[in-house]
Chains A and B, each alone.
Chain A
Amino acid sequence: MTVEDPRTTAVTGLGHYVLGLGDDALVLSERCAELITRSPTIEEDLAISNIALDLLGQARGLLAHAGELEGAGRSEDDLAYLRLDTQFRNCALAEVPNGDFAFVMLRIYLLSEYFILRYAALADSADSQLSAISAKALKEVSYHKLHARDWVIRLGRGTAESAKRAQAALADAEPYFDELFDDTWIHPDLITAGIAVSEAALRDQWQAALDKTLSEADLELPGASRPFSGARHGRHTEHLGNLLALTQSLHRAHPGASW
Chain B
Amino acid sequence: MDTNTFETLIAEGKTIEPHDPMPEDFRRSVLRQIAQHAHSEIIGMQPEGNWISRAPSLYRKAILIAKVQDEAGHGLYLYGAAESLGMDQGEMLERLHSGQQKYSTIFNYPMLTWADVAVMGWMGDGAAIVNQVPLSRCSYGPYARAMARICKEESFHQRQGYDAMRVLANGTEEQRNMAQDAVNRWWQPSLMLFGPPDTDSPNTARSMAWGIKRHTNDELRQRFIDLCVPQAEALGLTIPDEELIWDAERGHYNSGPLDWDEFWANVNGAGPCTRERLARRVAAHEDGRWVREAAAAYEHQIENGALVS
- Chain A contact residues, CB within 8 Å of chain B: 26, 30, 33-34, 36-46, 49-50, 52-53, 56-57, 59-60, 63, 76-77, 80-81, 100-101, 153-155, 157-159, 161-162, 165, 246-247, 249-251, 254, 256-259
In the complex, are the beta carbons of B62 and A33 less than 8 A apart? no
Min CB distance, A82 to chain B, in Å? 12
In the complex, are the beta carbons of A257 and B53 less than 8 A apart? no
18 additional A-B pairs beyond A38-B284, A157-B298, A159-B290, beta carbons within 8 Å, are A33-B49, A33-B52, A37-B280, A38-B280, A41-B288, A41-B292, A50-B69, A59-B58, A157-B307, A161-B293, A162-B291, A247-B54, A250-B114, A257-B172, A257-B174, A258-B171, A259-B57, A259-B60
Can you list 5 A-B contacts with CB-CB less than 8 angstroms, sorted by A residue number? Answer: A42-B79, A46-B69, A56-B58, A250-B114, A257-B174
Neighbour of A38 across the interface among B62, B114, B287, CB < 8 A: B287
Which 5 A-B residue pairs are closest in the complex by CB-CB distance? A40-B288, A158-B294, A162-B294, A49-B69, A40-B291
Residues of B within 8 Å of A50, CB to CB, are: 69
Residues of A within 8 Å of B62, CB to CB, are: 53, 56-57, 60
Neighbour of A251 across the interface among B56, B291, B301, CB < 8 A: B56
Residues of A within 8 Å of B295, CB to CB, are: 154, 158
Residues of B within 8 Å of A45, CB to CB, are: 45, 72
- Whole-angstrom CA separation of A161 from B42 in the bound complex: 28
Residues of A within 8 Å of B142, CB to CB, are: none
In the complex, are the beta carbons of A158 and B45 less than 8 A apart? no
Min CB distance, B263 to chain A, in Å? 25
Residues of B within 8 Å of A76, CB to CB, are: 58
Residues of A within 8 Å of B76, CB to CB, are: 42-43, 46
In the complex, are the beta carbons of B174 and A254 less than 8 A apart? yes
Interface residue B9 (Cβ < 8 Å from any Cβ of A): no
- Whole-angstrom CA separation of A52 from B72 in the bound complex: 14
- B52-85 CB mask vs A (1 if < 8 Å, else 0) is 1111111111100110110011011001000000
- Whole-angstrom CA separation of A169 from B297 in the bound complex: 20
Residues of A within 8 Å of B307, CB to CB, are: 157
- Whole-angstrom CA separation of A176 from B135 in the bound complex: 52
Min CB distance, B103 to chain A, in Å? 13
Residues of B within 8 Å of A159, CB to CB, are: 290, 293-294, 297
- Whole-angstrom CA separation of A33 from B54 in the bound complex: 11
In the complex, are the beta carbons of A254 and B284 less than 8 A apart? no
In the complex, are the beta carbons of A257 and B284 less than 8 A apart? no
In the complex, are the beta carbons of B52 and A249 less than 8 A apart? no
For window 252-306 of B, CB contacts with A under 8 Å fall at 280-281, 283-285, 287-298, 301
In the complex, are the beta carbons of A254 and B292 less than 8 A apart? no
Known: A158-B298, A254-B172. A259 touches B69 (CB 8 A): no
Interface residue B101 (Cβ < 8 Å from any Cβ of A): no
In the complex, are the beta carbons of A259 and B42 less than 8 A apart? no
Interface residue B175 (Cβ < 8 Å from any Cβ of A): yes
Neighbour of A101 across the interface among B60, B73, B291, CB < 8 A: B291
Residue of B49, B57, B281, B291 with most chain A CB atoms under a 10 A cut-off: B291
Neighbour of B75 across the interface among A42, A49, A60, CB < 8 A: A42
In the complex, are the beta carbons of A161 and B65 less than 8 A apart? no
Residues of B within 8 Å of A254, CB to CB, are: 56, 172, 174-175
In the complex, are the beta carbons of B280 and A246 less than 8 A apart? no
In the complex, are the beta carbons of A251 and B294 less than 8 A apart? no
- Whole-angstrom CA separation of A66 from B154 in the bound complex: 34
Residue of A nearest to B277 (CB): A37
- Whole-angstrom CA separation of A153 from B289 in the bound complex: 17
In the complex, are the beta carbons of A80 and B58 less than 8 A apart? yes
Residue of B66, B280, B289 with most chain A CB atoms under a 10 A cut-off: B66
In the complex, are the beta carbons of B72 and A251 less than 8 A apart? no
Known: A162-B290, A162-B293. A52 touches B284 (CB 8 A): no
- Whole-angstrom CA separation of A194 from B242 in the bound complex: 67
In the complex, are the beta carbons of A259 and B56 less than 8 A apart? yes
Residues of A within 8 Å of B291, CB to CB, are: 40-41, 44, 101, 155, 162
